Amino acid sequence: MFNGERLMVTKKILICGPCAAESAAQMDAIARLMKDVLQGVSAQFDSILRAGLWKPRSQPSSFQGVGAEGLPWLINAADYLGIPAATEVAQVEHLLAAYQAGIRHFWIGARTTSNPFMVEALAGTPIADKQSVTWYVKNPTSPDMNLWSGAVERLKGAGYEHICAIHRGFALGEHTASVYRNAPMWSQAIEFKRRYPAIPLLTDASHIAGKADHVPEVAEQAMRMGMNGLMIEVHPDPQTALSDAEQQLTPAQLSDLLQHLAAMDTAAQTAQSAELTALRQQIDETDDELWALLSRRLDIARQIGDYKRRHGLSVLQQARYEEILQRRMAWAKEHGIDPESAKQIMDIIHTTVD
């Protein structure tokens, strides 16, 4: 068996490179530093070089990208690596400028997927050779499957045939206790795969993780779940990056990660355990939410305790507790949960508060 045959029966897609193109020298450096790394895993991964030129930043004071000036830097770096170049497009002018420069791989960012007007404008842009183009549609910022599929449908409807999707996690604000920047919500990725079994789905491990240390575990998880590829941000010197400095890997870290992934026998593991892994992932996410809610509840209970002390009320009001308990036990029964177990859980929560 060849080395390369272990990981994947079909090759995976790897979109990697800096969050943003910053200068000709930076793009030149990343290409040189990644050349051997990418060649070393070319049996397992079809690589594409990424760099954002137009950056959709929440804050106007953040680095907005270098714009069209960076097109030749990205293209030269990709040519040096002998792989295609990919960039993010949000507006018609971005798409036209990048297409005219020769780029054929475009991703639609999460904020853009969230806006049907913008997707419609991109899909409707006159492009001479649509069959030469591959689109990568990131999930929208919120877990709204219709927005995600709506973007895919608009591109399909415009005549594009090469469409992939990227799972980059979701912004759930304070409702998540996830250690990651974005809550992965793997169930959404699974649902996308169910709806579009023929569309390759990649995981953007960097934007989910938010911190370089967490990127490998997210990437590994994605491979175990049978995802078709990865997007990973890599910078020659992440500390000095003008955007997403905390989550970008060094080329050496990328090399370690890819070696590790290539050594995993995911083809076999995926077949056996994708379903179990997905279910475990959902349990973990549910536990995260449960604990976030518990901690919010404790916080409120503390505030009630303070209020009662300030107003000379007794801290334990038995009648009120009985009422809460009865209501919860009745609810539990209706939902097929043993009321006695519900009572025990309530008692523990209640005494933890006090």
Interface contacts to ligand PEP, rule CB under 6 A: 19, 52, 56, 88, 109-110, 138, 168, 204, 207
Which among ligand PEP, Mn ion, none contacts residue 229 (Cβ within 5 to 8 A by kind)?
Answer: none
Give the separation between CA 331 and CA 341, rounded to whole angstroms.
12
Please, which residue, 140 or 266, has the CB nearer to ligand PEP? 140
The stretch near Mn ion (CB under 5 A) out of 97-105, 190-198, 241-249, 294-302 is 241-249
Please, which residue, 244 or 288, has the CB nearer to Mn ion? 244
CB 130 within 8 A of CB 160: yes
3-class DSSP assignment, residue 58: coil
Please, which residue, 168 or 193, has the CB nearer to ligand PEP? 168
Q: Residue with CB nearest ligand PEP?
A: 109
Q: Is 288 in the site for Mn ion (CB under 5 A)?
A: no
CB 195 within 8 A of CB 237: no
CB 106 within 8 A of CB 138: no
Q: 52, 63, 60: which is closest to 207 by C-alpha? A: 52
In the complex, the smallest distance separating the C-beta of residue 323 from ligand PEP, rounded to whole angstroms, is 46
CB 189 within 8 A of CB 225: yes
Which among ligand PEP, Mn ion, none contacts residue 110 (Cβ within 5 to 8 A by kind)?
Answer: ligand PEP
Which among Mn ion, ligand PEP, none contacts residue 22 (Cβ within 5 to 8 A by kind)?
Answer: none
Alpha-helical runs (H) found in 264-311: 266-310
Please, which residue, 193 or 207, has the CB nearer to ligand PEP? 207
Q: 42, 45, 21, 17: which is closest to 31 by C-alpha? A: 17
Please, which residue, 19 or 30, has the CB nearer to Mn ion? 19
In the complex, the smallest distance separating the C-beta of residue 162 from ligand PEP, rounded to whole angstroms, is 19
Q: Residue with CB nearest Mn ion?
A: 19
Query: Which residues partner with 136 through β-bridges?
Result: 107, 164
In the complex, the smallest distance separating the C-beta of residue 325 from ligand PEP, rounded to whole angstroms, is 45
| Per-residue burial over 293-322, b = 16 or more CB atoms within 10 Å of its CB, e = otherwise | eeeeeeeeeeeeeeeeeeeeeeeeeeeeee
Which among ligand PEP, Mn ion, none contacts residue 109 (Cβ within 5 to 8 A by kind)?
Answer: ligand PEP
Give the separation between CA 93 and CA 75, rounded to whole angstroms.
18
The stretch near Mn ion (CB under 5 A) out of 13-21, 56-64, 256-264, 285-293 is 13-21
Give the separation between CA 102 and CA 293, rounded to whole angstroms.
50
Q: Is 19 in the site for Mn ion (CB under 5 A)?
A: yes
The one-character DSSP state at 131 is G
Q: Is 244 in the site for Mn ion (CB under 5 A)?
A: yes
The stretch near Mn ion (CB under 5 A) out of 79-87, 95-103, 132-140, 242-250 is 242-250
For Mn ion, the binding residues (CB under 5 A) are 19, 244
